[in-house]
Amino acid sequence: MTPEDRFVEALQRFLPDCAGVWVGPGDDAAVVAPRPGSLAATTDLLVEGIDFLPTEEPERLGRRALAVNLSDLAAVGARPEFFLLSIAFPRQRGDDYALGIVRGAISQAMRFGTCLVGGDLSRAPSVVISVALWGQPAGKPLLRSGARPGDEIWLSGQPGRAAAGLRLAQQVSSGNPSWPSSFSEGASQLLAAYRDPDPRIGLGLWLAAHGTASAAIDVSDGLGMDAGRLARASGVRAVLERDKIPIHPALATFAEIESVDPFEWILSGGDDYELLFTAPPEARPALNEVHPEWEYSVTRVGHIEAGEGAVLRDRTGDREISHLGYDHFEEAR
Amino acid sequence: MTPEDRFVEALQRFLPDCAGVWVGPGDDAAVVAPRPGSLAATTDLLVEGIDFLPTEEPERLGRRALAVNLSDLAAVGARPEFFLLSIAFPRQRGDDYALGIVRGAISQAMRFGTCLVGGDLSRAPSVVISVALWGQPAGKPLLRSGARPGDEIWLSGQPGRAAAGLRLAQQVSSGNPSWPSSFSEGASQLLAAYRDPDPRIGLGLWLAAHGTASAAIDVSDGLGMDAGRLARASGVRAVLERDKIPIHPALATFAEIESVDPFEWILSGGDDYELLFTAPPEARPALNEVHPEWEYSVTRVGHIEAGEGAVLRDRTGDREISHLGYDHFEEAR
Q: Rounded mean pLDDT of A264-290?
A: 94
Amino acid at B302: G
Amino acid at B208: A
Mutate to test the interface with B, among A5, A28, A136 (most CBs of B within 10 A): A28
* pLDDT in the model for residue A12: 86
Interface ipTM > 0.95: no
Average pLDDT score over chain A: 93
Q: Which of A2, A36, A45 lies nearest to residue B122, judging by beta carbons? A: A45
Q: Which of B260, B248, B252, B269 is nearest to B321 (CA)?
A: B269
Q: Do B144 and A27 touch (CB under 8 A)?
A: yes
Q: Do A49 and B125 touch (CB under 8 A)?
A: yes
Q: Tell me, yes or no, whether B330 lies in a domain.
A: no
The C-alpha atoms of residue A301 and residue A267 are separated, in whole angstroms, by: 13
Pairing of strands B237-241, B310-314: parallel
Q: Do B72 and A29 touch (CB under 8 A)?
A: yes
Give pLDDT tens digits for A52-85: 989 899 999 999 999 999 999 999 999 999 999 9
Q: In this model, does residue A190 exceed pLDDT 50? A: yes
Q: Which of B32, B145, B216 lies nearest to residue A39, judging by beta carbons? A: B32
User: What does the pLDDT profile of chain B (333 residues) look like in tens digits?
Assistant: 777 888 888 888 888 888 889 999 989 999 999 888 899 999 999 999 988 989 899 999 999 999 999 999 999 999 999 999 999 999 999 999 999 999 999 999 999 999 999 999 999 999 999 999 999 999 999 999 999 999 999 999 999 999 999 999 989 888 888 888 899 999 999 999 999 999 999 999 999 999 999 999 999 999 999 999 999 999 999 999 999 999 999 999 999 999 999 999 999 988 999 999 999 999 999 999 878 888 899 999 999 999 999 999 999 999 999 988 876 655 544
Q: Do A130 and B27 touch (CB under 8 A)?
A: no
CATH label of the domain that carries residue B27: 3.30.1330.10
Q: Say if residue B161 is in the same domain as residue B70.
A: no
Q: Say if residue B152 is in the same domain as residue B168.
A: yes
* pLDDT in the model for residue A327: 66
Q: Do B328 and A4 touch (CB under 8 A)?
A: yes
* pLDDT in the model for residue A322: 92
Q: Tell me, yes or no, whether B327 lies in a domain.
A: no
Q: Tell me, yes or no, whether A329 lies in a domain.
A: no
Q: Do A86 and B44 touch (CB under 8 A)?
A: yes
Give pLDDT tens digits for A305-322: 999 999 999 999 999 999
* pLDDT in the model for residue B330: 59
* Pairwise pLDDT comparison (A329 vs A232), residue with the higher score: A232
Last residue of some domain: B83, B109, B137? B137
Q: Say if residue B92 is in the same domain as residue B28.
A: yes
The C-alpha atoms of residue A160 and residue A191 are separated, in whole angstroms, by: 11
Q: Say if residue A113 is in the same domain as residue A167.
A: no
Q: Tell me, yes or no, whether B38 lies in a domain.
A: yes
Mutate to test the interface with A, among B18, B27, B28, B230 (most CBs of A within 10 A): B28
Q: Do B5 and A229 touch (CB under 8 A)?
A: yes
Q: Do A76 and B217 touch (CB under 8 A)?
A: no
* pLDDT in the model for residue B328: 63
Q: Say if residue A297 is in the same domain as residue A150.
A: yes
CA B290 to chain centre: 23
Q: Say if residue B177 is in the same domain as residue B217.
A: yes
Q: Tell me, yes or no, whether B325 lies in a domain.
A: no
Last residue of some domain: A100, A116, A137? A137
CATH label of the domain that carries residue B282: 3.90.650.10
The C-alpha atoms of residue B197 and residue B204 are separated, in whole angstroms, by: 15
Cβ atoms of residues A77 and A204 within 8 Å: yes
Which residues on chain A are in Cβ contact (under 8 Å) with B45? 86, 88, 120, 122, 128, 130
The C-alpha atoms of residue A326 and residue A50 are separated, in whole angstroms, by: 11
Q: Do B28 and A42 touch (CB under 8 A)?
A: yes
Q: What percent of chain A has pLDDT over 90?
A: 80
Q: In this model, does residue A326 exceed pLDDT 80? A: no
Q: Say if residue B175 is in the same domain as residue B84.
A: no
- DSSP code per residue over A133-154: EEEEESSSPP-GGG--TT-EEE
Q: Which of B27, B88, B330 lies nearest to residue A45, judging by beta carbons? A: B88
Residue of A nearest to B141 (CA): A31
pTM of the complete model beyond 0.90: yes
Q: Say if residue A208 is in the same domain as residue A285.
A: yes
Count of structural domains within chain B: 2
* pLDDT in the model for residue A331: 53
Count of H helices and E strands in chain B? 10, 13
* pLDDT in the model for residue A46: 95
* pLDDT in the model for residue B151: 98
Q: Which of B43, B45, B221 lies nearest to residue A118, judging by beta carbons? A: B43
Q: Do B122 and A329 touch (CB under 8 A)?
A: yes
Q: Say if residue A48 is in the same domain as residue A170.
A: no
CA A83 to chain centre: 16
Which residues on chain B are in Cβ contact (under 8 Å) with A225? 2
Domain that holds residue A281: 144-320
* pLDDT in the model for residue A332: 47
Q: Say if residue B171 is in the same domain as residue B313.
A: yes
- DSSP code per residue over B57-117: -HHHHHHHHHHHHHHHHHHHTEEEEEEEEEEEE-GGG-HHHHHHHHHHHHHHHHTTT-EEE
Last residue of some domain: B137, B160, B181? B137
Q: Say if residue A154 is in the same domain as residue A112.
A: no
Residue of B nearest to A234 (CA): B27
Q: What percent of chain A has pLDDT over 70?
A: 98
Pairing of strands B115-123, B78-89: parallel
Q: Say if residue B28 is in the same domain as residue B7.
A: yes
Q: Do B118 and A41 touch (CB under 8 A)?
A: yes
Residues 6+ apart with CB under 8 A from A75: A142, A204, A216, A217, A218, A275, B28, B29
Q: Quick count: other Cβ atoms within 10 Å of Cβ A249?
A: 10
Q: Tell me, yes or no, whether A101 lies in a domain.
A: yes
Q: Which of B43, B122, B217 lies nearest to residue A328, judging by beta carbons? A: B122
Q: Rounded mean pLDDT of A136-159?
A: 96
Q: Which of A5, A32, A76 lies nearest to residue B29, judging by beta carbons? A: A76
The C-alpha atoms of residue B310 and residue B237 are separated, in whole angstroms, by: 6
Mutate to test the interface with A, among B329, B330, B331, B333 (most CBs of A within 10 A): B329
Q: In this model, does residue A333 exceed pLDDT 60? A: no
Q: Which of B266, B252, B279, B161 is nearest to B224 (CA)?
A: B266
* pLDDT in the model for residue A109: 97
Residue of A nearest to B118 (CA): A42
Q: Tell me, yes or no, whether B76 lies in a domain.
A: yes
Q: Which of B2, B134, B216 lies nearest to residue A330, judging by beta carbons? A: B2
* pLDDT in the model for residue A328: 62
Residues 6+ apart with CB under 8 A from A197: A64, A67, A68, A71, A162, A271, A272, A273
Q: Tell me, yes or no, whether A124 lies in a domain.
A: yes
